[in-house]
Amino acid sequence: MGRDSTGKPKSEVLPGTLEMLILQTLRRRQMHGYGIAQLIRQASEDVLQIEEGSLYPALQRLELKDWVTAEWRTTENNRRARYYCITPAGRRQLDVEAADFGRVVTAIARIMTPA
Amino acid sequence: MGRLRETWRKLRHLRRRGAMERDLAEEMQFHIERQAAERIAAGIPEREAWRAARAAFGNPTALGERSRDVWSFTRVETWLRDISYGGRLLWRDRGWSLTATATLALGIGGTVATFTFVNAFLLRPLPFAEPDRLLHVWSTDTALHTASGRVSTADFLDLRREATLFEDLAAFNYTEEDLSDDREPQRISVGRVTANLSRLLEVEPALGRWIAAGTDRPAAPREVVLSDGFWRSHFAADPDVAGRVLRLNDEPHTIVGVMPTAFVFPLPTTQIWAPRVLDPADARTRRHLQVLGRMKPGVTQPQAAAEMEAIAARLAGRYPSENATVSTRVVPLRDALNFAADILVPMVAVLGASILFVFLIVCANVANLMLSRGVARTRELAVRSALGAGRWRLVRQLFTESVLLALCGGAAGVLLASWNLSRIARSVPPDLYRVGALAIDREALVFALVVSLLAVLLFGMLPALRSTRPDPNVVLKEGGRAAGFAPRRRRSQRLLIVGQIATSTVLLIAAALMAGTVRELRRVPLGFAPDGALTLKLILPETRYPDAARVAAFHRDVLEHAAALPGVSAAATVDYLPLNHEFPVAEVFAGSTPVVAGEGAEANALTVSPDYFQVMSIPVVGGRVFDARDDLRAPPAAVVSRGLAESLFGTDDVVGRPIVRRGRGGNDRTYTIAGVVGDTRHRGLKGAREAQLYVPQLQAPTRYLRVVLRAQGSPEPHAADARLLVRRIDAQLPVTEIRTLAEVVEEFLLPEINIRTALAEQAITALVLALVGLYGVMAFAVAGRTHEFGVRTALGASRAGLLRLVIGQAARLGILGVVVGLLAGVALTRFLAGFLVGVAAVEPALFAGVAALMLGCCVVAAYVPARRAATVDPVAALRTE
């Protein structure tokens, strides 16, 4: 952990937020695992790099909890890929987590902002 | 709720595990491809791009595992892993596991068999509704010194009418009756019961109906209900059996139903229930019924007892000539059905105690084995602990192993118990009342499980737990060699050994005392010669033998035919055999009527044919024995045993003097003494000298009789002849209990022999276990001290010196154990005193013998480890450093 093969420093995803990030990513569109990692990295302007080691177990957890479903589809390049899709329960969970996260971030920001 | 749904999804997922694996693999492959493609697009050479992509992705196997874990039942799977690891470890130490399993099996086998036995004979409630409300009513008679007598029809009817605290009272007795059909005549065991019994016990027939109310009146048509076993053996479980007719004692009985298998009453051997005819005209002194009652709800036994006694007191006032000394005594029904409880309970107590002792030794051995293993594994556990295994994780591992061990030992123990039970079942009389089969059932299995877990977890786990608390620093530094030799552990192992030796000593003493008792009992002079005599039992039915003349004719015929058999030197008939648990008690007085109460002697009254004394080899001391003259026309004659003569007259010179036998209800009878014969043992081999009164069959022929044949040589070959000879006289008369007199005597000794054998088995088991324990501890200690012995040898210690050193240590443990055992033996064998005959509970010679035997065995057990110590090669021993 810590560095990828390019040696570029990368930040760890805050514990417990990975699932939220995945759900947020899937909110607008269905996506495969690789795409999810890419989207999160791009959206965070390369600050957040998703470890494959935690991405797939997290996807399995979400599937187990019935917050996402998965199906095989063909990509634009005509390649088979497993696409994840958020479920209504997943959306509700995302709303709850997003609200919680917002409160926590605001609180931390308040503490960290010099008076 | 969420958890439940997750579990459900996990379970459903189990089915498509394979598909999921493939999905995941493909998905990850896709991911790597895209990463590679990205790099290739950025201008990195293809090979390098792929390599980097794979490296960035990480280990797909580990990743896959983590993804799979999401779906798996982690806890269950860890547990399964523990089990398989524990199983592998036990398998690796096969010798140790086998010893532990065998040890446990010995302990469990004994306790489970005892539990099943006690459960069936004493504990399990009667298979009737609310058995606590069922009581049995005995009659007591202060004049006849009876506390458990039967009740007459008239008394029963009065008790039943006047009782208010009982829902109902029923009467029964058990008889043997002749079954005549097309087959060989046979005698079957019949429960004669009043028609209300089924309602009172709340048991319904499995087939058909119960005998109808009113069929117990004298002139009613006879009905019978079959037991399940009899229905199967005699009617091939014919479902249409109702309506068929059986001839019982020559009377036709219509079959009306079949009882369920579980219905056992009043004997386990009862095959048929038929109405007990209640004739109100029966004499009040003819007491032949057993009475049971169901108390009304909420009534207590003392209240019920008080009411019965009050009614009995009123009857005594109303019928003073019959009932003046008669009252009642109520006991729980189970106690009355279990007529051998007075023998069974102390027997079970002694055997139970011995089994418990063996079980304690087993527990000590298991504890010792666990300690040794714990020591041997200290290093392994220390390494695992150093590598980060939490204590809880190690404890759980030990726990799993212990449970595995307990299950193995328990299973082997149950097998052993079921073998034990089949042996026990053979040595218990079949008509002894029990509830349920004498076999391993669910209760026994649960008991076995609990006991084995208890033995292993309590006695094995606790000491082993210590070994999960080693300081890895210390253990690993010492190289594991001396790790186990903490003085505290050594002390507890030795304490266990001393306890085992002490316990074995106690059991050996008990077994030796019982062996002495059996030996002494065999030496008791019987007064008759059992060898070479054959006996058989006949009961003449009233229908074919309605009067004394016909009974007497049968006696005469059977004796004539028997004496004519080749190889038979003499034959006799008698109503009751000696040492056969049949006591025809009579109160006998010196002089003639009227007798003075309290001056009589109690005797066994036997009705015998003239040649009885010759057949039994009972010596004639004075006067003459009976002959053909002593028939119905002659004055009543009697022969008395020397014991009776001396207790009545103070001398055995009593020929010609009159004596009186007190009869029921004032029917006293005066006899003239014709002769005096030697003492015999009729009731038992223990206790005071007995007194026998013999009266001639010719003057009072009995329907219940035994034929005794004196054979030249072995009596067994005459059994078939005897059966044939009875057939020639009466083809419908069943012949039962064809036994030699020696067998009768041997059977009488069975309780003592059984106790002795069982105690001997327990003692030997205990001894072997204790010696295995001692051997194990010594061997283990010697193995741990190899280095020390090497040094000693190198420094010039002789082999003999080392042998002495090790054996001396074992002997010290042995002596301590034996001393404790002897002291405990003095205290504990007192409980055996009731069983002992001819031996004192504390016999110095016997105690010394047992002590010597124990010590000898200890030395032998220590010899092998001692030799190993003495033959340590100093070079090899020191090199192992």
HEC sequence for B229-257: HHHHHHHCCCCCCCCCEEEECCEEEEEEE
Per-residue burial over B102-113, b if 16 or more Cβ lie within 10 Å, else e, is bbbbbbbbbbbb
Band (B614; pLDDT cuts 50, 70, 90): very high
Interchain CB distance below 8 Å, A56 and B63: yes
Residues on chain A touching B57 (C-beta within 8 angstroms): 52
Interchain CB distance below 8 Å, B27 and A81: yes
Quick: pLDDT tens for B795-830: 888 888 888 888 888 889 899 999 999 998 888 777
Helix (H, G, I), strand (E, B) or coil at B797: coil
The model carries a pTM of 0.71
Q: Which residue of B has its CA nearest to A73?
A: B27
Let me know: does B34 contact A39? Beta carbons within 8 Å.
no
Interchain CB distance below 8 Å, A34 and B34: yes
Interchain CB distance below 8 Å, B26 and A65: no
Let me know: does B375 contact B467? Beta carbons within 8 Å.
yes
**B666/B319 Cα distance (integer angstroms):** 13
Nearest Cα to B694, choosing from B743, B748, B645?
B645
* B273: β partners: B191, B225
Q: Is residue A12 part of a domain?
A: no
> How near does any CA of chain B get to the CA of A94, in Å?
17
* Mean pLDDT of all residues in A71-80: 83
Q: Is residue A42 part of a domain?
A: yes
Nearest Cα to B833, choosing from B518, B523, B514?
B514
Kindly state the tokens that stand for A28.
């607008």
Q: Is residue A96 part of a domain?
A: yes
Where are chain B's structural domains? 2-72, 74-129+364-484, 145-324, 485-526+746-881, 545-731
Unique residue bearing structure tokens 């298991």: B366
Residue B486 has pLDDT above 60, yes or no: no
Band (B340; pLDDT cuts 50, 70, 90): confident
Mutate to test the interface with A, among B5, B13, B63 (most CBs of A within 10 A): B63
> How near does any CA of chain B get to the CA of A102, in Å?
25
Interchain CB distance below 8 Å, B56 and A82: no
Transcribe B815-860 into DSSP letters: HHHHHHHHHHHHHHGGGGGGG--SS-SS-HHHHHHHHHHHHHHHHH
Let me know: does B788 contact B779? Beta carbons within 8 Å.
no
Kindly state the tokens that stand for B435.
């509830």
pLDDT value of residue A8:
45
Residue B485 has pLDDT above 80, yes or no: no
Interchain CB distance below 8 Å, A52 and B23: no
Let me know: does B511 contact B418? Beta carbons within 8 Å.
no
> How near does any CA of chain B get to the CA of A5, in Å?
6
3-state helix, strand, coil in chain B (%, to 5): 55, 15, 30
Let me know: does B311 contact B163? Beta carbons within 8 Å.
yes
A114: left (phi over 0), alpha (psi -120 to 50) or beta: beta
pLDDT value of residue B185:
77
3-state helix, strand, coil in chain A (%, to 5): 50, 15, 30
Interchain CB distance below 8 Å, B69 and A82: no
Q: Is residue A46 part of a domain?
A: yes
pLDDT value of residue B346:
79
Per-residue burial over A2-16, b if 16 or more Cβ lie within 10 Å, else e, is eeeeeeeebeebeee
Interchain CB distance below 8 Å, A64 and B30: no
Band (A29; pLDDT cuts 50, 70, 90): confident
Q: CA neighbours within 13 Å on the CB side: how many for B313?
A: 6
Q: Is residue A87 part of a domain?
A: yes
**B805/B854 Cα distance (integer angstroms):** 19
Quick: pLDDT tens for B520-534: 888 889 999 998 899
pLDDT value of residue A2:
40
Residue B472 has pLDDT above 70, yes or no: no
**B64/B62 Cα distance (integer angstroms):** 5
Question: By mean pLDDT, which of B138-152, B153-167, B472-486, B833-847 is the weakest?
Answer: B472-486
**B223/B254 Cα distance (integer angstroms):** 5
**CA distances to B218, B639, B645 from B691, in Å:** 40, 11, 8
Q: Which residue in A34, A65, A80 is closest to B6 by CB distance?
A: A65
**B307/B303 Cα distance (integer angstroms):** 6
Nearest Cα to B305, choosing from B138, B129, B132?
B138
Angle B341-376/B378-386 helices, nearest 10 degrees?
Answer: 60
Mean pLDDT score across all residues of chain B = 85
pLDDT value of residue B666:
63
Unique residue bearing structure tokens 């990295």: A41
Q: Is residue A2 part of a domain?
A: no
Q: Which domain holds residue A23?
A: 18-112
* Mean pLDDT of all residues in B198-222: 87
Quick: pLDDT tens for B152-175: 999 999 999 999 999 999 999 998
Q: Is residue A90 part of a domain?
A: yes
Quick: pLDDT tens for B506-520: 989 888 888 888 888
DSSP element (H, E) containing B188? strand B186-193
Total beta-carbon pairs less than 8 A apart between chain A and chain B: 66
pLDDT above 70: percentage of residues in chain B? 94
Number of domains in chain A: 1
> How near does any CA of chain A get to the CA of B43, in Å?
14
Let me know: does B277 contact B193? Beta carbons within 8 Å.
no
Band (B273; pLDDT cuts 50, 70, 90): very high
Residues comprising chain A, all counted = 115
User: Checking DSSP bridges between strand B692-696 and strand B601-608, what pairing results, if any?
Assistant: parallel
User: Checking DSSP bridges between strand B637-641 and strand B669-677, what pairing results, if any?
Assistant: parallel
**B815/B692 Cα distance (integer angstroms):** 52
Q: Which residue of A has its CA nearest to B24?
A: A56
Question: By mean pLDDT, which of A42-51, B117-126, B329-338, B845-854 is the weakest?
Answer: A42-51
Residue A76 has pLDDT above 80, yes or no: no
ipTM above 0.90, yes or no: no
Interchain CB distance below 8 Å, B52 and A81: no
* Mean pLDDT of all residues in A7-29: 75
Residue B462 has pLDDT above 50, yes or no: yes
Q: Is residue A11 part of a domain?
A: no
> How near does any CA of chain A get to the CA of B384, in Å?
27
* B639: β partners: B675, B694
